[in-house]
Structure 1
Amino acid sequence: MSLVITDLHAQLEDGTEILKGVSLEIPAGEVHAIMGPNGSGKSTLSKVVAGHEGYEVTSGSVTLDGEDLLEMGIDERSRAGVFLAFQYPAEVPGVSNANFIRAALQARLPEGQELDAVGYYKSLYEKMDLLEMDRKFTGRSVNEGFSGGEKKRNEILQMMMLDPKYCLLDETDSGLDIDALKIVAKGVNSMRSPERGFLLITHYQRLLNYIAPDHVHVMAEGRIVRSGGPELALELEENGYDFLKEAVTA
């Protein structure tokens, strides 16, 4: 079981190429981190895998446990087990958190089957307690008026409730203070299992202090230019991305 990205090329609607041959395999049970400077294509990669309509795949493939992901619509990819936590979570005025998550879970059930309300709220409250979220958030509109840390915790809550096979976390640490970062990391770590894979996108080593990756990759100018173990992130933290000048032109 793996999420496999092979020689993936993708461009914006105006024809600007962003991904220039990305290949990456994330087996179930592993955590992979992608680091790199701004504009290297990290967030684009996560959005293309999730099915964002603002990008066009020009060549390459993405398979999920052997199934062609690129042939699926956004909703089909979600049902197949893909979850994307956004760098900038959107606000959804007028839709409560509880109803939003409940509707998402209901949409995954076979036609005619109803979600068990008692079991749903029991699970929701357990996960909110883990993330140290006040119960009042169930009645608040999705992300409306939330702080940055609250939005990120809300994303992790959605992920925990939807129970995906592959979790793409796009700079989940962005804007978090150390306490919020520890809580978010606790939620992510609670989901680690042999049946689930993770792709963490981050600029900084500090997230990886709390969510230990199995592999670290560096992206630059639309492709992965270096891969290694957790020690690679420490090297980047110490030395920065100066080596990319040689790697990109190599």
Structure 2
Amino acid sequence: MSALSYICGYGYGSNSDDSDCEIVPRGYKRPKLPTPDLSKVTVIPVCEEHLDDPKQHDGRTRTFPHVRGNWATFVYIKYSDEEGLFELVNNLQSAVVKILDKEPCQRCEDFHISLSKTAVLKYHFISPFTTSLQEALTGLKRINLSFDSVKVYCNDENTRTFIALKVDYSSNKSLQEITSKVDEILDECSLPTFYEDPSFHMSILWVNGNKKRELEDIVENLNDIVAQEIGKSLQNVIVNRVHCRSGNKLFQFSLQ
């Protein structure tokens, strides 16, 4: 019996058709209603619209809209000596702020080198995707990572400009080998592969909008600062893991 049937069928006496009023004897206590069985009642969840507010993210704008069930996924490696970079980053940040007339210049939240573009996966594709990555990366050797210069990049949407450290020739060759393996998996999943001629770099600072022209005017000065820190705050590091982040899930794959 449905919950509605319980309510409609409840009443004292069986001759209720004779009167609109129900007469209850003195001292009579109504019995408790039995708990209705709602197991077959369909419940439709309410989907809340996600509103992106750049003010909550230092003015950053999403490059693609938030959609429930879509997991933003990308492959990258981390720079393990982040604390050692602080002095270099502070010096570069001061130089950039002077040129941009006090326009906000933010430090990147983490220092990493992308090995893929950001792709969108459905939840049930995450496990086979990461399993394929594990198989593809098995046997690859760890990398001696080092940098040689500063380069300015602007994202495809022209919403942010980045000041980055570009990896040197030797590191570039090693990263290219890993990226080719990642591209094979992406291609099998009909997802966008990495850039045809990738420029591997580690972004350390960013500003809103397209400020590439203004920042490229001072690249020589920024390179002078970097040259003074190579071997001191800017150390070579050994990379022995590749990371993949999908939404709030993090996967790590060991290199030999």
Question: Which one has a larger percent strand, Structure 1 or Structure 2?
Answer: 1
Instruction: Please tell me the TM-score bracket, short chain as reference.
Output: under 0.3
| TM-score normalised by L of structure 1 | 0.22
Structure possessing the higher radius of gyration over alpha carbons: 2
